[in-house]
Amino acid sequence: MTYTSPDRVLVTGGAGFIGSHLCERLLGGGAEVVCVDNYYTGRRENIRTLLGHPRFETVRHDVTFPLYAEVDRIYNLACPASPIHYQFDPVQTTKTSVVGAINMLGLAKRLKVPILQASTSEVYGDPDVHPQPEGYWGRVNPVGIRSCYDEGKRCAETLFFDYRRQHGLAIKVIRIFNTYGPRMHPDDGRVVSNFICQALKGEPITLYGDGAQTRSFCYVDDLVDGMIATMATPDAFTGPVNLGNPGEFTMRELAEIVRELVGSSVAIVHRPLPPDDPRQRKPDIAKAQAELGWTPKVPLREGLSRTIVYFDTLLGTGRTARGEPDRVAAIR
């Protein structure tokens, strides 16, 4: 899917894993892109190949403070998304989701432009409905160690819909399920990056609990397709809409696939399950298919193979022969 508008687009969290891929895709479609990031978890290396682009600019800024800019649409992705990062400073995590949403919504209201909120499948908590449709209200612990992220994102959704009802603001809300691919941080504690890095370095793969808990994994290119498709919908469509791959795998299955693709025989070891860790997670994507014409296309093995190449190059472990494909020429 290609973005074909000459609009000036603001992406908060634009130097992050997902944000950098979104910036790259928007540039490829002809947009001017303003990347806003405070580099708490975002990295300049993620946008290094974009820095000299004539339609790309960066602003170092924390969204918990007001931002003044002139843009035509806003993607709000700013917030640490991995447990290691969002639990390090949980108060700031909540402020980023809530105060950051207020500031970005205020900017969108002043400019009268559409704004998309990158929400999360974590709003469903540890679900007792499976798979999770958008109409399910979730089962979230409001006082647990994951609450700063889960409840912060839930409150941000509330704010978005109240701005819609009270001010007529053009909003879009997506709920992102587990996403993976090149530019993930090697130390973010997420299961895909953990398993790949451990296998590449010849370390035992760590499974939490018995490994029977399930997740669904969406390759980042597919997610970006869905984000752009959501922003392109008519004003009447607000979401929330699930964006994720409905293929469901146990953690043990994922570990075994990673070992096979890396060509490693490292052991699999077990550790206690963290508090409030969901037992299962799988998106119902019927709404995305009907309203966006969107279905993820990249199978897990193919996406993992691409991600393994990226981490192998990053870590210098020498198990693969090539690095991440250079897509810069395509957006010049």
Catalytic residue among 149, 180, 219, 310: 149
Q: Given its phi and psi angles, is residue 283 left (phi above 0), alpha (psi -120 to 50 degrees) or beta?
A: beta
Give the number of other Cβ atoms within 10 Å of residue 313's Cβ. 17
Distance CA 185, CA 195 (A): 13
- Residues 277 and 279: their CA atoms lie apart, in Å, by 6
Residue 149 annotated to the active site: yes
User: Which tokens go with 52?
Assistant: 């000299």
Contacts of 194 (CB under 8 A, 6+ apart): 205, 206
Burial class (CB in 10 A: 0-12, 13-18, 19+), 263: exposed
Measured in whole angstroms, how far is the alpha carbon of residue 185 from the centre of its chain?
12
Tokens of 63: 């969204």
The catalytic residues are 149
